[in-house]
A and B are shown apart, each in its own frame.
Chain A
Amino acid sequence: MLRSYLKLAWKVLLRRKFFTFASLFGVAFTLLVLTVATALLDNVFAPHPPETRSARTLGLYGLAMLNGQSGVIGNPGWAFIDRYMRDLPGAEKVAVLQQTRKVDSYVGGQKVSSWLKRTNGAFWQVLDFDFVEGQPYTEDDERQARPVAVINETTRERFFGNGPAIGRLIEVDGQRFRVVGVVRDVSFLRVTPFADVWVPISTARSDAYRREYVAQFTALVLADPSRFDALRAEFASRLASAKPPDPKAHFAGALESYFAYTSRSMFSPRQEAAHPAMLGSALAFLALLFMLLPAINLVNLNLSRILERSGEVGVRKAFGASSRTLIGQFVVENLVLAFLGGALGFVLSSVALLIINRWGPIPYAQLTLNLRVFLWGLLLAAAFGLLSGIYPAWRMSRLHPIEALRGRSW
C-alpha cells in the first residue's frame, strides 16, 4: 500500500507542477535560511579552532563602571585586569587581548590593510592556533616588549608571496616586527581570536592603556570547569570590593562564555543582570517564527489542493477506500513533498555556504553545514507537512461519498 501511495504521490506532484514548485520552494528556502543563519551563529559561538578550549575558558568580555544612572560601559581595561585578575585561584592562564583594529601598511608602494591585535604571551596558550610556520611569541617576549609578530597565511602571502616568513620584518601601524610564527587564517566571525597580525601588548607606542579600567581589552581565564563556580565567586567578591578611580562608582561585569556575554549585552547593556538564556530563547523563537510562515503557506496550499480533489475522494470512496486509507494517501503525499523540499534545501544550503566562504563579505569565513540543525529543520518541515496534510485530509475523508462526487468540498 505504501508503495502505491508513494507512486501516486510522485505522479500527483509531477502533474501539478506549480503547486509542487511552490511547496518545494517554501520548504527548501526556509531550510536554506535556517542553515545559513545557524552556520553563521555556529561560526561565532561554537568551539571551533582556535577556540577549541572554550569549555575550559571563562571570559571577561564586558565591564561597566557605573555611578547611579551614568557610567562608562565597555570592555575591561588593562589596569582592571592587572589589578583584579592576575592571581585568581584555580586559573591556569589568563590571556589578555586587545580588540582587533584595522591598520595600514605599504608593500612595494601599495597600501595593504590588515587587522592588528595586541595580546599577552598567555594568549597563545589559552587559544589553540594552528601554526604552519614558526611558533608563538612568549610571555617573556611580552615582558621584554620584543617587536615580534605572528601573522596569518593571507598576510604572509600579501607581504612575502609564497616564500617563508620566519625571521623577516613586517611593518604594520608604523612599527616594524620580526615574524616568529605563521598561523592558519581565522574567520572574521571569531571575534576573540580574529586578526591578520598579532603582536605583544607591551610593544604599543604609548603605555596609557596601563592606566585604563574600562577600555578595549578582553581577559580569558583558562581553568578546570570544576573550578568555575569558585572562580566566579572569587571574581564577584573582588568586583564588589574593587575601588574604581571614581569613589562613588562601582564595577559591573561577570566571568562567562562569549554566548552568555552576547546575550547579556543585548538584554542588559548595563552589564548588571545576567540573562545568558535569553539569547538562546530569542534565537529559538525567531527560528520557530521563521518556520511557521512556510508552514502556514503549506497548510493553505494543501487545503486548496485537497479541496480541489473532492471528486477524486468521492471516486476512491465509491470504490472502497476507507477514511483512514485516504488520510494515509494525502499524508504520504505531503511527506514526500517535505522530504523532497528537504533534499533540495540541503543542496541549496551547501551551495550558499560555499559561495559565502569563497566570495562572501566575511573575511576568512569557514561556514559549515550543521547537520544536526539541518536535520531538525527537516524534521520540523516534515512535521508541518504532516500537520498541514492531516487536517484537510481528515476533513475530506469525513466527507460523504455522494457529496464528494458532486464536487462539494465541505
Chain B
Amino acid sequence: MIRLEDVSKTYRTDRIETRALDGIRLNVDKGEFVAVMGPSGCGKTTLLNLMGLLDVPSKGRVVLDDRPVDTRRDRELSRLRNEKVGFIFQSFHLVPDLTVLDNVEIPLLYRAITGKERRRMALAALDRVGLSSRVHHFPTQLSGGQQQRVAVARALVGRPQLLLADEPTGNLDSTMGEEILGLLASANGEGTTVVMVTHDPRMAEHAHRIVRLFDGRQVQ
C-alpha cells in the first residue's frame, strides 16, 4: 500500500539543523494495521505526515500504491490526499464554525459529488460512528469522545485506502479510547490500511505489527 524507501527528513532553521527521520525503510501492506511507537520527539508524527503526503522527504522517496510520489505540485498532492488518505488527529481538528454534518462533508467537497450525495455519505458515516442524533450540533456542543468520533467519520467518509491516526486516543479516557480503537479496527476489517501513532502499549496491541522509532531511526 505504502512504502518508505530510505526516507530522511531534516528541518532547518537559520542556525539549527534537526534530523527528524533518518534512513527509514518501511513497507505497509494493503489491509495491514500498523502501530508506530516511540518516545516523544522520535519522529512518529513526521513519519505520519510523510505517509499522508502532508510533507515531502528531504531524502529517499514515498511510494503509494506502487507509484512513487515524486511531485511537489500542490494540486497533485491535494488530489492524492483527497482520494487515498484519511486523517485522524489527537486534538480532533474539527472546524468550530461548522456543524458535525458539515465537518464530515469536508473531504467530499473537493470531489465531483452532488450536494445530495455528499449529505447521504456524511450521514452514513455519522451513523457508523453512532452520532446520527448529533448531526446539527456544533463541535463545542460535544464531548471529547464524540468529537473524535466525528473526526473518525470525517476520515472515513471518502472511503480512503489509507487511514492515518496520530495518537487518536491521546486526549480521551480509556473507555472512549477503546471505542475509537474499535472504530479503527472495524475500518481495518473492511480493508482499510491503518497506521496509528500511539504512546499506549495497550492500544498498540490491537495492531498487526508495531514499528518502534528512536531518535528518528527505526529500531524494530
Is the beta-carbon distance between A320 and B115 smaller than 8 angstroms?
no
Is the beta-carbon distance between A318 and B54 smaller than 8 angstroms?
yes
Hey, which chain A residues are within 8 Å of B97, CB to CB?
11-12, 15-16, 309, 312
Is the beta-carbon distance between A319 and B75 smaller than 8 angstroms?
no
Known A11-B97, A11-B98; judge A318-B81 contact (CB<8 A). yes
Q: Mark B78-93, 1 if CB is under 8 A from A, else 0.
A: 1101110001010001
Known A4-B109, A11-B102, A314-B93; judge A322-B87 contact (CB<8 A). no
Is the beta-carbon distance between A311 and B78 smaller than 8 angstroms?
no
Known A11-B102, A319-B106, A323-B74; judge A311-B93 contact (CB<8 A). yes
Known A3-B115, A15-B97, A401-B54; judge A320-B89 contact (CB<8 A). no
Is the beta-carbon distance between A324 and B75 smaller than 8 angstroms?
yes
Please give the distance in Å from B158's CB to the nearest CB on chain A.
8
Is the beta-carbon distance between A321 and B78 smaller than 8 angstroms?
yes
The reply to whether the CB of B154 lies closer than 8 angstroms to some CB of chain A is yes
Is the beta-carbon distance between B75 and A318 smaller than 8 angstroms?
no
User: How many pairs of residues, A versus B, come closer than 8 Å at their CB atoms?
Assistant: 66
Q: Mark A1-30, 1 if CB is under 8 A from B, else 0.
A: 101100010011001100000000000000
Is the beta-carbon distance between B106 and A315 smaller than 8 angstroms?
yes
The reply to whether the CB of A316 lies closer than 8 angstroms to some CB of chain B is yes
Is the beta-carbon distance between A317 and B95 smaller than 8 angstroms?
no
Within 8 A of B (CB), among A310-343: 311-312, 314-325
Is the beta-carbon distance between B110 and A319 smaller than 8 angstroms?
yes
Known A320-B82, A401-B54; judge A325-B95 contact (CB<8 A). no
Residue of A nearest to B99 (CB): A11
Distance between Cα atoms of A355 and B79 in the complex (Å): 56
The reply to whether the CB of B43 lies closer than 8 angstroms to some CB of chain A is no
The reply to whether the CB of B168 lies closer than 8 angstroms to some CB of chain A is no
Please give the distance in Å from B53's CB to the nearest CB on chain A.
9
Distance between Cα atoms of A1 and B110 in the complex (Å): 8
Interface size class of B (residues with CB under 8 A): 20 to 34
The reply to whether the CB of A402 lies closer than 8 angstroms to some CB of chain B is yes
Hey, which chain A residues are within 8 Å of B98, CB to CB?
8, 11
Hey, which chain A residues are within 8 Å of B82, CB to CB?
319-320
Hey, which chain A residues are within 8 Å of B54, CB to CB?
317-318, 401-402
Please give the distance in Å from A7's CB to the nearest CB on chain B.
8
Distance between Cα atoms of A309 and B78 in the complex (Å): 19
Hey, which chain A residues are within 8 Å of B158, CB to CB?
319
Is the beta-carbon distance between B154 and A319 smaller than 8 angstroms?
yes
Distance between Cα atoms of A316 and B81 in the complex (Å): 11
Please give the distance in Å from B74's CB to the nearest CB on chain A.
5
Hey, which chain B residues are within 8 Å of A16, CB to CB?
97
Distance between Cα atoms of A156 and B4 in the complex (Å): 96
Please give the distance in Å from A317's CB to the nearest CB on chain B.
7
The reply to whether the CB of B52 lies closer than 8 angstroms to some CB of chain A is yes
Is the beta-carbon distance between A317 and B78 smaller than 8 angstroms?
yes
Hey, which chain B residues are within 8 Å of A317, CB to CB?
54, 78, 81
Distance between Cα atoms of A311 and B97 in the complex (Å): 12
The reply to whether the CB of B55 lies closer than 8 angstroms to some CB of chain A is yes
The reply to whether the CB of B107 lies closer than 8 angstroms to some CB of chain A is yes
Is the beta-carbon distance between A320 and B93 smaller than 8 angstroms?
no
Q: Mark B99-121, 1 if CB is under 8 A from A, else 0.
A: 10010001101110001000000
Known A4-B115, A402-B49; judge A320-B107 contact (CB<8 A). yes
Please give the distance in Å from A307's CB to the nearest CB on chain B.
14
- Supply 9 A–B pairs (Cβ within 8 Å), ascending by A: A11-B97, A11-B102, A311-B95, A318-B54, A318-B81, A321-B78, A322-B75, A323-B74, A402-B55
Known pairs A319-B110, A400-B55, A405-B93 / 13 extra A-B pairs, C-beta < 8 Å: A4-B115, A11-B102, A311-B93, A314-B93, A318-B52, A318-B87, A319-B81, A319-B87, A319-B107, A320-B81, A324-B75, A401-B54, A405-B89
